[in-house]
A = this chain, B = another copy of it.
């Protein structure tokens, strides 16, 4: 029986696994976490809207349903291409086919000060850490006698005007205005600031003009300060510095201005493209290694003259393709080269408000928001998770409440 090893149980790897399951392979699923994480909803965990468990799903629960698959919890430490083995911190795993999709990490573009002080959202624990930090800042503000320091505690600078920055900014201002305003009657919560910083002149750059304008207006009307053509160049725990020399006293800096391939990419022993990505052949294999596929955010592939974006839909389609390509080769055939079909993109701005662009059409407002909800519920894995998430959304919609306002780990001292 041939062995297919899939490294990374993100949006790509889980799709490959589903295709190869029950097809006569020994499929080994490798991840350093024992769960698949639904990253697009991390920002809702960070803003007290969802419990972290509701956006994670155990790999073993999936493996049970996928015949011929088994899970190996491990950190990959290398690839022995000659021996055809994946090297991990808990042993070597031989393979006939290898699919690598370990995703991406936040790119701070070498700014060490920002990297040290900024929060980001890639891992499940990041979301809980950020939620604890936001709520702790308000608790500290209550007993801060100095008005300027109090305002800095309630000031949140979000860098990056892409979907993550926009969605987090919207969710955060609503948390502050609708929920925390009731929790902290002793604070003038209206003094709280949510500042969204974008280096170019546009939010949601991939969206059509009318949706970009809608997003900008909507965020501003909700109370988010949007700074365009602005760059954050330095930070410490108390303030954020901009390229024009201006300073915003802020206790919280959130960074979503870029991603780069996960460090695992360096273990693939090929030259990395900008952002650490790995150039792949049109069939997603490594040059000269037709048994090794690289998928998702780690893969660098140009289409129509531009590299494919590092987003979940690309990873999902690549994951499906890699699985099907392996099946085809076992049958002695080959697939046509991979081609990404862009079905559109969307972002939610706030309660009853989202933007979506699909098949050349633009949607905004309530209808886009409803479609966003349904699509996210659809892609979330696990029926129970869907119910819990839906329950939380209904709660928020009806009662304007976010229930998970828990500080599960207390921050100590000055930071």
Q: Which residues of A contact B (CB under 8 A)?
A: 32-35, 51-54, 56, 58, 60-61, 64, 70, 72-73, 90-91, 124-125, 135, 139-140, 142-143, 182-186, 382, 384-385, 387-388, 391-392, 395, 403-410
Contacts and interface: CB of A to CB of B under 8 A. Distances in A.
A398 to B, nearest CB: 11
A407 B64 contact: no
Nearest to A182: B64
B384 A183 contact: no
A405 to B, nearest CB: 4
B53 A404 contact: yes
Nearest to A51: B53
Contact of A384 (B52, B185, B395): B395
Contact of A64 (B91, B183, B384): B183
A149 to B, nearest CB: 14
A139 B72 CA distance: 8
A72 B185 CA distance: 13
Contact of A391 (B33, B140, B384, B404): B384
Contact of A58 (B52, B54, B72, B183): B183
A146 to B, nearest CB: 14
A406 to B, nearest CB: 5
A388 B60 CA distance: 23
Contacts of A56: 406, 408
Nearest to A48: B58
Contacts of A185: 70
A385 B388 CA distance: 10
Nearest to A403: B384
Contacts of A125: 408-409
